[in-house]
Amino acid sequence: MEIVTPEKVVVSQEVNSVVAPGSLGEFGVLEGHVPFLTGIEPGELRYSTGSETVQLAVTSGFAEVSENKVSILVDAAERLQDIDVERARQAMERARERLSKDRASNKDIDFMRAEVALKRAVARIKVVEKTK
């Protein structure tokens, strides 16, 4: 499996299984899975190696399963232990505040960017809170 962002390769290793947030819902991949391509939505991505399960928060992107390899290309991916939940909560509040403003009278606000920021913050918070 490989998880790649524009900045770096986040993960590149042999895994037993992958569970990711696809555009049509959560999907799982085991060895011998049929090839497919799907969108990735902001949310939790999990993979297991032996008895260890690793959790990451991912943003939008794509996943390809082909020839016993899972390739995931996303804008950002953070391991559970690297998520600053307080920073994520602040980002969520800022994004909600921007989105609550009237679109017609606030042409300077990039509402699409605010929606993406909100989804990313919510995904990060959910990953952290799920483990509590």
CATH class of 82-130: mainly alpha
* Mean pLDDT value of segment 19-45: 95
Overall pTM surpassing 0.85 (yes/no): no
Provide the b/e sequence for 27-63 (b: ≥16 CB within 10 Å).
bebeeebeeeebebbbbbbbbeeeeeeebbbbbbbeb
CATH class of 2-80: mainly beta
pLDDT of residue 106: 61
Contact indicator for 21, 45 with CB cutoff of 8 Å:
yes
> pLDDT digits over 105-127, tens only?
666 667 777 788 888 888 888 88
By percentage, how much of the chain surpasses pLDDT 90?
58
> Is it the case that residue 89 has pLDDT exceeding 60?
yes
Domain boundaries, the chain: 2-80, 82-130
pLDDT confidence bin for 102, thresholds 50/70/90: low
- In whole angstroms, give the CA distance from residue 61 to residue 77: 10
